[in-house]
Amino acid sequence: MKPKRLTREQRRNQTRDSLLFAARDIFSTKGFTAASVEDIAAAAGYTRGAFYSNFEGKSDLLLELLQRDHEEVQAESQRNFDLLTAREGGMVVSSDCARLLGNRPASFLLWIEAKMYAARDSRFRAQLCTLLRKKRAHTATCISSIIARNGTQFSLSADTLALALLALGEGLQSWRVADPYEVPGEQLDALVCGFLAFIGSGAADRHTSSVFCEASVPPRNR
């Protein structure tokens, strides 16, 4: 039996997916600025014309990569959060906590490239900020649920705590990318879990309150 012939829209989607996949790999190895449209098209097996038939330019392609990554991470983190809060007693392990942030080393590099480019391009910055605010809002929703579940009070808003948690996660990942042996994954997981424990307890001076999870930061490997 002959394979079913693809429609024009299916072929176009296939081309876009191939270009996006190739661009993700090239941006990770060469960097966004150093990568050229020709590099991306050649890696995907298409011409320069095919690239511009699907994207206005590199920044347009990068935004779609980020949008897709954001949607995947949000869906994954929501599933993990639902699993965490469904557990009896609300106890979780440290590796589960880090997953709330969608810890993906390859994706992290992509977002760093985007932020560096946004610092120099105001139009791109405005579009990137839309995605960053969506990420922060989703994290704030998760944190609000943790606070409500534990019946705790916190002087800081869920939005502010979300910013702190995201900054903590990104800062740790920055260190890990530069020096993976000095900042192992277990240390990153434990620190994120410790932050969530702090949120779950309501306040640092409430020693008798129940916490969302317990974690200790392991010593650094030498």
pLDDT of residue 148: 79
* Pair (127, 164) in one structural domain: yes
- Tens digits of per-residue pLDDT, 114-123? 999 999 999 9
CATH of the domain at 16: 1.10.10.60
* Pair (135, 199) in one structural domain: yes
* Pair (130, 214) in one structural domain: yes
- Tens digits of per-residue pLDDT, 126-148? 999 999 999 899 888 888 877 77
* Pair (30, 86) in one structural domain: no
Domain count, the chain: 2
* Pair (64, 171) in one structural domain: yes
Q: What is the mean pLDDT of residues 1-17?
A: 82
Better-scored residue on pLDDT, 114 or 196: 114
* Pair (135, 183) in one structural domain: yes
The pTM of the full predicted model, rounded to 2 decimals, is: 0.77
CATH of the domain at 135: 1.10.357
- For the record, the structure tokens of 191 come out as 């620190």
- Tens digits of per-residue pLDDT, 158-181? 899 889 888 988 888 888 888 878
**Domain of 18?**
1-55
